[in-house]
Homo-oligomer: A and B are copies of this chain.
Amino acid sequence: MEFNDFLIDQGQIIHKDKDDHLFRQGDMNSSLYYIKQGFLKAYYISEDGKEFVKSFLSTGNVIANLTSVHLKQPCSYSVICLEPATLIMVSFEDLYQRSLEDQSIARTIIEVLLKLALKKERREYEFLCLSAEKRYDLIQKNMPELLEKVTQNDIARYLGITPVALSRIKNRQ
């Protein structure tokens, strides 16, 4: 069985409004979500209430809080819809079990995880080796649509700096 068939077969379609949460930091969540349509934001809130944007998620991608679905611990971050969204929700556990029997599904999971690992390695590289200004340059070069879609506040928090600092960076370019 194909991954997509499994989603259609076992999954549940859910609709979310703008500003609705998929899950919240601190809660348990055992689902994997496929984004049929929408644009979402994954973010951390620190102990002193500051927000940091982990990633932006768009149509065609899947999202699951690994800490919760795999380690069975509370979600380490929240996910909120930046626009109305349609998703397919499945139990991660069910999908994982199915992958043990089904070649095609195992293959897709490996593919998804490889892609995720590469993306996270890329982001690790940017934080480790580049200045905030260089990281902003990369967004301008590689994801210009992002600058249209989200506020400068969210871009700043994605870069790991404050909105004030981002305004300064733009100013000196």
Q: Is the interface of A mostly helix, strand, loop or mixed?
A: helix
How long is the Cα–Cα vector from A103 to B103 in the complex, in angstroms? 7
8 Å CB contact of A44 from B46, B113, B128? B128
Task: Decide if A72 is an interface residue (CB 8 Å cutoff).
Answer: no
- Check B128–A66 contact: CB distance below 8 A: no
Residue count of chain A within 8 Å CB distance of chain B? 34
Copies in the complex: 2
A46 smallest CB distance to B (angstroms): 6
How long is the Cα–Cα vector from A54 to B125 in the complex, in angstroms? 8
Given contacts A107-B100, A114-B113, A117-B117, contact A160 B128 (CB under 8 A): yes
Task: Decide if A152 is an interface residue (CB 8 Å cutoff).
Answer: no
8 Å CB contact of A110 from B67, B110, B127? B110
8 Å CB contact of A106 from B107, B120, B129? B107
- Chain B residues, Cβ within 8 Å of A125: 44, 54, 76
- Check B71–A128 contact: CB distance below 8 A: no
- Check B52–A129 contact: CB distance below 8 A: yes
Nearest neighbor of A104 in chain B, beta-carbon distance = B100
